[in-house]
């Protein structure tokens, strides 16, 4: 398989995930509307973190969808001019993103989830417990999205190693 085929596969996955993130954010927004109509204070506490993840999903998913075609055409154009430079550029970009996702996945999201769990256990105010639960939900959704992106990049790098 050629490098361009691997790049198309990677960017098609990005496009699909971008659309999925947007749809998920719309579902989360519908859930927020339902929660706001309820009188449960714990659920109302989850609104802010869930709204935060919905906004992040819309912006990140929208960027993935918007940039999809441009990135693919840029890398195709570069590959036609200089194959080695195109492969090197995408390899560097993928390695950079993998290291960023690794840092976030290993330290930041688990820390937020742990802080949320501790707050959920030790704090008795219902609204604050809801916020803690919301940040745990936030971390779960963020880990889910970043794992998919990271794994797709790892597969891309493994595939293009045979071309180098």
Torsional sign, CA 96, 97, 100, 103 = negative
Number of domains in the chain: 1
- Whether 160 has a pLDDT exceeding 90, the answer reads no
- What pLDDT is attached to residue 10? 86
Residues 135-145 have pLDDT tens digits of 998 898 888 88
| Phi–psi pair at 56, nearest 5 degrees | -65, -45
Query: Between 115 and 161, where is the model more confident?
Result: 115
Q: Is residue 11 part of a domain?
A: yes
Q: Is residue 41 part of a domain?
A: yes
Q: Is residue 40 part of a domain?
A: yes
User: What CA–CA distance (Å, rounded) separates 73 from 2?
Assistant: 15
| Phi–psi pair at 131, nearest 5 degrees | -65, -45
Write down the residue that tokens 């993840």 correspond to.
Answer: 53
User: What CA–CA distance (Å, rounded) separates 92 from 136?
Assistant: 32
**Structure-token pair, residue 93:** 């970009």
**Structure-token pair, residue 50:** 């869930």
Q: Is residue 129 part of a domain?
A: yes
Report the interhelical angle of 3-37 vs 47-81 (nearest 10°). Answer: 170
User: What CA–CA distance (Å, rounded) separates 120 from 140?
Assistant: 15
Query: Between 162 and 115, where is the model more confident?
Result: 115
Residues 24-70 have pLDDT tens digits of 999 999 999 999 998 888 888 999 999 999 999 999 889 888 888 78
Q: Is residue 164 part of a domain?
A: no
Q: Is residue 103 part of a domain?
A: yes
**Structure-token pair, residue 144:** 């889910």
Count of CB atoms situated within 10 Å of the CB of 94: 19
Residues 90-131 have pLDDT tens digits of 899 889 988 888 888 888 889 999 999 999 899 989 999 999
Residues 75-92 have pLDDT tens digits of 888 888 988 888 888 899
Expressed as residue numbers, the domain containing 64 is: 3-158
User: What CA–CA distance (Å, rounded) separates 121 from 61?
Assistant: 33
Q: Is residue 80 part of a domain?
A: yes
User: What CA–CA distance (Å, rounded) separates 28 from 50?
Assistant: 7
pLDDT band with cut points at 50, 70 and 90 for residue 1: low
Q: Is residue 60 part of a domain?
A: yes
């Amino acid at each position: 398989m050629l490098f361009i085929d691997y790049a198309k596969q990677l960017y098609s996955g990005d496009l699909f995930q971008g659309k999925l993130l947007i749809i998920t954010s719309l579902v989360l927004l519908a859930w927020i509307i339902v929660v706001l109509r309820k009188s449960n204070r714990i659920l109302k506490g989850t609104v802010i973190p869930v709204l935060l993840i919905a906004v992040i999903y819309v912006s990140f998913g929208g960027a993935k969808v918007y940039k999809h075609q441009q990135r693919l055409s840029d890398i195709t154009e570069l590959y036609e001019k200089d194959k080695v430079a195109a492969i090197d550029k995408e390899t560097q970009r993928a390695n950079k993103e993998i290291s960023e996702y690794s840092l976030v996945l290993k330290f930041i999201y688990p820390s937020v989830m742990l802080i949320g769990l501790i707050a959920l256990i030790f704090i008795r105010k219902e609204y604050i417990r809801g916020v803690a639960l919301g940040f745990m939900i936030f971390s779960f959704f963020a880990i889910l999205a970043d794992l998919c992106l990271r794994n797709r990049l790892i597969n891309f790098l493994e595939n293009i190693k045979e071309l180098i």
